[in-house]
Structure 1
Amino acid sequence: MSFKFEKLIIWQRSMEFGEKIFEISHDFPKGELFNLVSQIRRASDSIALNISEGSILQSKLEFKKFLGYSIRSLAEVVTCLYKAKNRNYITEEDFKEIYNESYFLMNQIIAFRSQIKE
């Protein structure tokens, strides 16, 4: 037995993405614990949370709205990644890797959302 959202590739990938963000932010300075660490973790978790929450709604229009929230949370993560790179909390290599994953996930969510007929 499983929930419908567990079968969605965008949910699965967003779950993996959130764990990667959690791991990489673990090495940020302790002074950022209640600032950038908290922000990037909440935003990355919000991607999967909004996909799952939206998927159980009866209205396809509402589901599309929640996918929009996921997209905005992902954009927030990317901005936090830039902050982390600019503050030298992550390497350029790590930034590029996670940035590319972000871009790929963003395009997957957008493509999925565009397939939902109202």
Structure 2
Amino acid sequence: MSNMDLALKDMMSIDGAVGAAVVDYNSGMALGMLGSSKALDLQVAAAGNTEVMRAKMRTMEQLNLNDSIEDILITLSGQYHIIRPVTGRKSQGLFLYLALDRGRSNLAMARHQLKGIETDLEV
């Protein structure tokens, strides 16, 4: 099993996970996806969240913020969507995307677990 497959499997093992992807934000393409919901199109989510990631990076640059993004949280009435940039040297330009069922997840624990998965990922 590849490192990415393992990361996706670990992401989907987080309580409440309904979809996970590893995305290249330069191209907007998902390099890997795993999901349990037919209602969540991970290809569309990858492309759309690429725009969110790019917009935040542009804004930080325009504000001259010398900081890095830990994660971006989008809160919906029934779901949480977490975007986490991958910081490893070999995985620059990628982000992890995780969609969670809000009623079945623990946001703090999910963020903690996602941080560990991101740290171990090498693509």
TM-score (norm 2): 0.29
Q: Which structure exhibits the higher relative contact order, with contacts defined as CA atoms closer than 8 Å and separated by 6 or more residues?
A: 2
Higher share in helix: 1
User: Structure 1 length normalisation: TM-score?
Assistant: 0.30
- Bigger radius of gyration among the two: 1
